[in-house]
Amino acid sequence: MKKQHLTLTEEEFKFLDTLLCKGDLNTRVYKRAFALKKLHSGMTYQSVADLLEVSYTAVFGWAKKYRTEGLELLEDKPRSGRPTGISAEDRGKVTALACSSPPAGYQRWSLRLLASHLVELELIDEISHTDVGRILKKMNFSLIEKDTGVSD
């Protein structure tokens, strides 16, 4: 018999069984859970890697993490990175102002005009016109008036 690389408890095995039966499982979580079950059943690191089409080191790493963390290895840890500088509330303020009528003397909003008005009205402490553009782009919002095809 092949060397058993890890041994799951009865509860962990049942948990993984239940987890793998779900249809809406993240691919990473699925592969890690499947690998743990196969390693428990006696498959080698290389055969599990070939079966899942991942590297040998990935399977070896999952087994190693299981020994230290248990089933917590299934979910990804939060990653470092730059946090978003503009809150959801502030993004809503940008969108709301863009939906409103432009100030007197202007036919439509521009990104620079929106940015300056947001700061003037003290809705946001500081924001650049490029940030305003990114927010509106994510919202699928266009500052250009669309031709409705109706003539005056």
Convert 29-57 to b/e letters by CB count within 10 Å (16 or more is b): bebbbbbbbbbbeebebeebbeebebeee
pLDDT recorded at residue 1: 43
pLDDT in tens, 12-26: 999 999 988 887 888
Taking the C-alpha atoms of residue 90 and residue 85, their distance in angstroms, rounded to an integer, is 10
pLDDT recorded at residue 36: 93
**Average pLDDT rounded to a whole number, residues 92-111:** 92
What percentage of the chain has pLDDT greater than the value 90?
Answer: 57
pLDDT in tens, 28-60: 999 999 999 999 988 999 999 999 999 999 999
pLDDT confidence tier of residue 147, bands split at 50, 70 and 90? very low
Whether the per-residue pLDDT at 3 is higher than 70: the answer is no
Half-sphere exposure of 80 (CA within 13 A, CB side): 0
pTM reported for the whole predicted model: 0.55
